[in-house]
Amino acid sequence: MSTGSVEVVYRGIFQKTLAKNICRGIVLAARKEGKIGIAFGRYGDSPERNGIPAKQFAVVSDNQEELEEHLAKYEPDNNDVTISLDDALCKGVESWAWYGLQPINKLLADGGTLLVTSTQSANKLIKTIHSKKAPYNLAIVKSPASFSGLWVYKDDHTDVRLLGALAKVAPQIVSLESIVAAIVEQWKDDLKVASAKKAYDVVESTPVGADQGNDEVPFSFDLPGWTKMEEGLVIRGMDAKPQDVPGRDGGYVPTRSETFKKFSTRTMRPVINFDTCTKCTLCWLNCPDTCFDITPDGFYDANMEACCGCGVCEAVCPVNECVTMVNEEAFEDHDSQWEMWTKDKKGYLAWLSEKITQRPARSHGFHHVGQYAEEIADDPA
Amino acid sequence: MTPPDLAVAEKIEGPSGETEELISGSEAIAHACRLADVDVITAYPIRPYDTVMQYVSQMISNGDFDCEFIVAESEHSQFEIVKHASVVGARVFCGSSGVGWFYAFEALAVTAGLRVPMVAMVGNRALDDPGAFGVEHNDALAVRDLGWMLNWVSTAQEALDTALIAYRVAEDKRVSLPCAISCDGAFLTHSQTLVKVPAQETVDSFLPPYDRAEKQLHPDNPITIAPQVNEDWLMEMRRQNDMAMRRARGVIIEAYEDFNAKFGRSGEPFIERYMMDDAEIALVGMGTLAMPVRVAVRKMREQGKKVGFVRVRWFRPFPTIELQDVLGGVHAVGVIDRDYSFGSAFHSGVLATEVRSALYPMESPPKVISFIAGLGGREVSADNVIEMADMAFDAAGGGDINDQDTHWIGVRE
């Protein structure tokens, strides 16, 4: 093979520098072997929004003509390696230029490797990843979602650990020797070289069979053509019929878009204790995405097709232990919490306290000062 | 495994002091500004152009580049400031994208009228509304009638090289016209490739210092620039402008010859000919469209289809002579516009209209089939290109393809 391509999926802004370092590192290392290459981002993701899934790529080739097949394109469609910098993205990727939920392995070549930073086990991760028609490999670099390179966040070597692991899972793209040479040149740091070599030695790869994994059909829709779109750049308000909404008898009732939904856009979601809720409206009022549905009995139910996981509801809620943000890793569906509570209040409370007490580390950097340092200290790797 | 001692370092000092860097088209333009030792740069953010101002300000803060860097309060002021700086003797750089370029329109018009040799970068972007960031060429093309020299580049290397050539041509006393370098948004402005960055001495040997001589606005040289004129003056001014643009052609040829001698690369000045020697039909386009077109041409050549590609590098002055030469022998020409000109002859894009016009006086001109593709940053795939080439072959063979209509490629029905 004379052309190799790597896709890096990451959280917009938070991991942009990290993704850029990895993609540049691949091209600069491949240059050591006389190859040429390109490093670029998916322009549809820009300008990047906090936490919204985004992509960057590195394509290397030993000749200009083959490389040219990958220039002036949105994204390479058959990657040897897909790197996911946040394991929550294994549930699927939603770009800001919305076109549905794209399985994390959709653009991965048959027999390629999905390389993920995660503290979860391969077996647990595979259950969240959409199944693929062809077998591939899942490799894990043990790490929480890293913010390395973002503003004040310290360099935790995630970039070079992934470069080292890449050399192990795809030596045809770039060798460990070239990675080391590029690291020395870029950073002049022996410790970073050691981190890359260690990741090369310890990275574990698990074969994933055809059709193994999450069998959910990923959400998609068709875009309209020019003969069907409304002229003059007009978008109609989505008006629900008042009779369809319990407790409403007139007026404009907004409903939700059938196509614009959010699933993997968020890294956390609110869980709500309806027993302590005082119906103060603050979560509903402050939610930047209007994600709270008003229930017939006057509660506010966070709609998991609309929530972006920002945590504002938790911040503004005046009640102790009413709204709690929990890492997406803890969830497998997008069901209504209010419906669950209505059906079985005791069962819901048990579910809720399990989610809160057993919750994995939070994923947003802004939760509290020092959180990141604690996460790194706790990391077994 | 390849031993690391075979390595080609990221930055190696070659015999000419040239280094190799992994940079985007925007960063390549910023390097050209540094190497041209530009005195005054003004900026106002709009993507994708804004990446240039990021790289320029980074170079200044790193101490690699010394210039006046002014962030204006709008694009209009941005272009006005450099226009004035230029007449007092500063080498200037400016740039914008899409509607930002349009917001500066009054300043753009007078810059050409006053013969100010400004060099600008246009990061090509669709015009808002809707707020789309992808490439369309209508932004830069809007000044095509005003006396701006316009060119389109297809790689970051060409962006750097062309910016240096642009200063030499624009500031040449025989020309003294502004020049805008168009870089396709995303595909060029946001993609990093390996670029040869020349040494300062090489650039200095190619690019003389900016010298306005007797036209420099200075207390020691009391002159007035841009007084009010009436109908008894303006037409003569326009004619001078016309002559300057005509002279630019020869100056551009000279500059490319010298660039080639000093840097060992540059190519043909006005157009790039790709597999045109025995071509029966030709595709014509500008910018990064060249990538999928070249891929498609190679694929079709493997099937024995004699197709070639002509990339228009300079749009103003328009390469009429070159296009007559290269397209005169083909049976059909497919022009791919990444722009539109609603209501124009045959509803064609701007490039197709100009190509048709250039070929009209020929004894037996080829058929011209006009295509519109890749608007708003939409990717033009090699398959799209093959579809267009097949339509051009059809026209060449007397098929029923309508050469008096314009065909939209890759649009959802």
pLDDT at A184: 97
Pick from A27, A33, A74: CB nearest B379: A74
Supply the pLDDT for residue B217. 95
Nearest CA in chain B to A168: B1
CA distance A215 to chain B (A): 30
Which residues are CB-contacts of A109 (< 8 A; sequence separation ≥ 6)? A78, A79, A80, A136
Q: Which residues of B touch A72 (CB under 8 A)?
A: 184, 187, 288-292, 379-380
- Residue A216 has phi, psi (to 5 degrees) of -60, 140
pLDDT at A370: 56
| A207: β partners | A137
Q: At what angle do helices A190-202 and A158-169 cross, to 10 degrees?
A: 40
Q: How far is B50 from chain A (nearest CA, A)?
A: 12
Biggest distance spanned by C-alpha atoms of chain B: 76
Could you tell me which chain B residue has the CA closest to the CA of A38?
B193
The domains spanning B8-263 and B271-408 adopt the same CATH topology: yes
Across the interface, do A32 and B8 touch by the CB < 8 Å criterion?
A: yes
Is the CB of A185 inside 8 Å of chain B's CB atoms?
Answer: yes
Domain ranges of chain B: 8-263, 271-408
Higher per-residue pLDDT: A348 or B265: A348
Q: Which of B134, B380, B412 sits opposite A226 (nearest CB)?
A: B412
Residue A49's alpha-carbon distances to A266, B124, B217, in angstroms, are 12, 23, 47
Could you give all domains of chain A from N- to C-terminal order, each with its CATH number? Answer: 3-208 (3.40.920.10), 239-257+268-362 (3.30.70.20)
A235: closest chain B residue by CA: B130
pLDDT, residue A361, reads 73
> How far does B35 lie from chain A, in Å, by closest CA?
23
User: Could you tell me if A177 lies within 8 Å of chain B, comparing CB atoms?
Assistant: yes
Sign, CA dihedral B274-B280-B284-B290, equals negative
pLDDT in tens, B152-193: 999 999 999 999 999 999 999 999 999 999 999 999 999 999
The listed CATH number (3.10.20.340, 2.30.40.10, 3.40.50.920, 2.40.30.10) that belongs to domain B271-408 = 3.40.50.920
User: Does the pLDDT value for residue B256 go beyond 60?
Assistant: yes
pLDDT, chain B, mean: 94
Q: What are residue B296's phi and psi, to 5 degrees?
A: -65, -40
Q: Which residues of A touch B22 (CB under 8 A)?
A: 24, 27-28, 31, 39
In sequence order, what E strands does B216-270 have? none
| Mean pLDDT of the region B374-395 | 97
Provide mean pLDDT across the span B250-274. 95
CA dist B206 and B209 (Å) reads 10
Q: Do A37 and B134 touch (CB under 8 A)?
A: no
Point out which residues pair with A187 in neighbouring strands.
Answer: none
Q: What is the pLDDT of residues B4-21, one digit of tens each?
A: 443 343 444 444 789 999
Q: Which of B8, B22, B184 sits opposite A39 (nearest CB)?
A: B22
What would the pLDDT profile of B294-320 be if each residue is shown by its tens digit? 999 999 999 999 999 999 999 999 999
Picking from B186, B192, B379, the nearest residue to A39 by CB comes out as B192
Q: Check if A172 contacts B (Cβ < 8 Å).
A: no
Residues in chain B closer than 8 A to A185 (CB atoms):
9-10
Put simply, the answer to whether B379 touches A72 (Cβ < 8 Å) is yes
Question: In the prediction, which pLDDT does A371 show?
Answer: 56
Q: Which CATH superfamily is domain B8-263 in?
A: Thiamin diphosphate (ThDP)-binding fold, Pyr/PP domains (3.40.50.970)
Could you give phi then psi for residue B75, rounded to 5 degrees?
-65, -35
Using CB atoms, which residue from A39, A225, A233 is nearest to B413?
A: A225
In tens, the pLDDT along B96-134 reads 999 999 999 999 999 999 999 999 999 999 998 888 899
Q: Which residue of A has its CA nearest to B376?
A: A44
In chain B, the percentage of residues whose pLDDT exceeds 70 is 96
Q: Report the C-alpha gap between B126 and B367 in whole angstroms.
A: 29
| SS3 assignment, position B203 | helix
CA–CA separation, B38 and B167 (whole Å): 10
Where chain A has pLDDT below 50, the residues are 365-366, 381
Question: What is the predicted ipTM?
Answer: 0.92
